[in-house]
Structure 1
Amino acid sequence: MKGIPVHFDFDPDTESFANDPYPTYAWLRTNAPVYHWEKRDTLLLSRLEDLRTFLTHEQLSTDIADWEHHPGAQMFEQPGFEAWGSIVASSLFQLPPADHARVRKLASVALTPRAVRAMEDAVRATVERTLDDLIANGDEVVNIRHFAETIPLTVICDLFGVPGSMRAGFREFGLAVIRSVQPNLEPAVLSEIANGFTQGKALLEQLIEGRRADPNPPADLLTRFIEARDEAHRLSTSELMSLIFALIAAGSDTTVHGTCYAVYALLRHPQALAELQADRSLLRGTIEETLRWDSFGKIGLFRYALSDLEIAGVPVRKGQAIGGLMGAALRDPEAYDDPDRFDIHRENNASLTFGLGRHFCLGANLARTEMMKAIEILLIERFPHATLAGEPVIDHQNSIMRAMENLPVRLGADQGKARA
């Protein structure tokens, strides 16, 4: 592949990779589909078939404590790391299978397709308010990142009844959770993450205490979880905390990046956008194609081998880290016809963005709904003539995501004033 030498060091922290990782991904799929990333002593998978195996393999753990280089429990005994340790110990990624199934079942009831359909009006209202706030100054060009990052956190905090004064703090906590799943972090970064957990735990304790003191608590998700802990004894205190943390974290990132990249893809392909505007039944397939065509993850998901095993014929030692390069797999020509082409009519475009198997993302239904409503209201109903006002600015120093810091879009005059 042009621009990629036969022997190269995989470096996802460069600006060129953040802007366009696909030449690197293509080279890996062709030349090293199971690539040993020496810098992190990690195996990287780039083919779709191998990622499916990776995501469902019973001997691959999501628990970073199973990593051979993990510092162990002593890390959480350091001053300032206690909150992180207590939350991680009861997280869905670390619970034994039986406890994982029990806690996940309790949470999933609130996020089934039927439950999410009942939230559609509330999601629409959130998107409308967010867009009104964005255009209130009358600016011709706006940063869509500001639009995208407000929606999911608002929706998930509404589900839990989180007051406005706490939401910025929960956003920071969510980002800390997302950063915490990556191995080989520098000590300074670990301290920042630990601080995020400490602050988030304090906010949640305050929220739960206030709800328990309320003689007439609202019938929301937080109340339901507290009742499961206090009355039905289906959750331990630590499980209650960890579950709420997980859902707030899930509402802090994936939808933000997914929405930015969906807007970018559609504005780069005006013919596809015109077809979508003429036929809203294409909306769900369009979202799936945007998730497939331009994945916002850099190095995907991590797993840790519970025993010596093989993947794609390559030996893996117990405790070794494995990374699934989602962006590479979703452009695999063995799985998709003409994979570099953006095609909203594609029939086999279902992505693995939300995972697979028993760790499939609990919030996938809600995330898809939020993305669909954001695109429907922004580019179909309110600003059908929107255009790109420049290329996105991508934070290449973000070690996990190809996060757009700025996606400049010229909205036009269609619905340029906020609704009354």
Structure 2
Amino acid sequence: MTDLIDLGKYGPEFTENPHPVYAELRALGPVHRVRLPPPGEHVETWLVVGHEEARAALADSRLAKDSRKLGLSFLDEELIGTHLLIADPPQHTRLRSLVTREFTGRRVAALAPRVQRIADDLLDAMLPLGRADLVDSFAYPLPLTVICELLGVPESDRSRFRALSTEVVAPSGLDTEHEAFTRFADYLTELIEDKRCSPPSDDLLGSLIRTTAEDGDRLSMGELRGMAFLLLVAGHETTVNLITSAVRALLTHPDQLAALRADTSLLDGAVEETLRWEGPVENTTFRYAAEPLEIGGTAIPAGEPVLIGLASADRDAGRHAEPDRFDIRRDARGHMAFGHGIHYCLGAPLARLEARIALRTLLERCPDLALDGPPSGWLPGMLIRGVRHLPVRW
């Protein structure tokens, strides 16, 4: 019988810095039975912490994303609707095909001038102050504005959307999480109906409403709501924390910051190393063993939930030498910050674009940027890795 490891015993230190615990687990083996820390302390799951095992698990079709196959049901499925993160082939194949018809590389590349303008406008407002919370002043509003404009969310709704989104990805409790999902579902239904009744728009949500495959297939209301939810939440919460973590990493590694300032061609390397060293998604959402299987020599019974540790896998010394060292010259290819396999993040090109523009613009316009205190408000749970506040000065 595999020993159960209670991650809650590590206390708040685990939320602030889980990497020593993951290293401890990797030293014991690539797969463990764990109890989640608060607010998920009543949940037991298998946790994959080794790089090779995580990569294989991400591509293993025996690990299902659709919990309904096993008779399970969760808030996002009940209230929001079906989306890519909770679908398996052939449904996943169909949904991804319909979305990628509109969420194209060309559409993302065309956003670059607008992303640059948003970054400049935010810094125009921030720089005269001399100090600020980087999250509130820059890292949060930039991707929030981009994704809301991309999907066609009215500006007047964005503060409401931010509050709902934060509670969904880092819930403070089951009651508030349920309320957030309920209100989010109601809001998205209203937004989609408004767009259906309005003249056609060229935003992504309007395009998804109208898109039709060659065989006449279209997204249903539940699927539209689910896809809008996924694109809105995953499309900005992750990028907020990618930008924040990149700045925090550079400011706490002055040699790396100096290297980047001296050679801006290292910018892509800085983004990729941040994704590896402190990526915004700590662990995947749940998968479920559709049949008995073995991962890294550990037997997983049918029906059991499985989490795949992206943050742990990306600090596995078997894949990356000196994995705890932040090095923007490192060849970080092979990191799994965006996943692997059929569920590889659809928004990866947009996240990279925003992070590159945000970092370059911030460093160019703030040559003496420095921390103005410790980061605070580490996000609860084991899904999103990041902080609510990063005080900086210049």
Structures share a fold, TM > 0.5? Answer: yes
- Distance in 1 between residues matched to 2:47 and 2:155, nearest whole Å: 41
Which stretch shifts more, 263-272 or 97-106?
97-106
Matches within 5 A, 1:57-76: 57-65=60-68, 70=72, 72=73
Report how many aligned residue pairs link the two structures.
384
Tell me the residue number matched to 2:234: 250
Match of 1:358 in 2: 342
Give the 3 Å change call, closer, same or farther, for CA 148–311 of structure 1 in structure 2: same
Q: CA deviation at 1:396?
A: 6.0
Q: Does 1:123 align with 2:115?
A: yes
Equivalent residue letter for 1:26: A
Partner of 2:132: 142
Correspondence for 1:414: none
1:229 deviation in Å? 6.5
Shift of 1:269: 1.8
1:372 is displaced (CA, Å) by 1.0
1:191-340 superposed matches below 5 A: 191-215=175-199, 217-228=200-211, 233-340=217-324
Q: Is the 8 A contact 1:144 1:409 kept in 2?
A: yes
CA distance in 2, matches of 1:164, 1:386: 30
Relative to 1, partners in 2 of residues 1:298 and 1:353: Cα closer, same or farther, differing over 3 Å?
Answer: closer
Q: Which moved more, 1:223-232 or 1:204-213?
A: 223-232
C-alpha displacement of 1:230: 12
In structure 2, how many angstroms separate the alpha carbons of the residues matched to 1:168 and 1:230? Answer: 35
Shift of 1:322: 1.4
Aligned mate of 1:101, from 93, 115, 119: 93
| Shift in CA distance, 65/132, structure 1 to aligned 2, threshold 3 Å | farther
* CA distance 1:111–1:350, change in 2 (3 Å): farther
How far the C-alpha of 1:53 sits from its partner, in A, is 0.9
**Alpha-carbon distance, 1:287 to partner:** 0.4
Q: Quick one: which of 5, 16, 20 aligns to 2:17?
A: 20
Q: Return the alpha-carbon distance in structure 1 between the equivalents of residues 268 and 101 of structure 2.
A: 22
The TM-score with structure 2 as length reference comes to 0.88
2:163 maps to 1:172? yes
- Measured after TM superposition, the shift of residue 325 of structure 1 is 1.8
The letter for the 2-side match of 1:19 is E
- 1:338-369: CA deviations, max 9, x gaps? 21211111123442111111111111110111
Which residue pairs with 2:149 in the alignment? Answer: 158
User: Offset of 1:398 from its aligned partner?
Assistant: 4.2
User: If the length of structure 1 is used for normalisation, what is the TM-score?
Assistant: 0.83
The percent identity for this pair of structures is: 37
Residue 168 of structure 1: how far off its partner (Å): 2.2
Instruction: Answer yes or no: is the 8 Å Cα contact 1:34–1:46 preserved in 2.
Output: yes
How far did 1:293 drift?
A: 1.3
CA-to-aligned-CA distance 1:392-419 (integer Å, 9 cap, x gap): 11426445334312211112xxxxxxxx
Structure 2's unaligned 5+ residue stretches are 37-42
Q: Does 1:387 align with 2:364?
A: no
C-alpha deviation, 1:121, in angstroms: 0.6
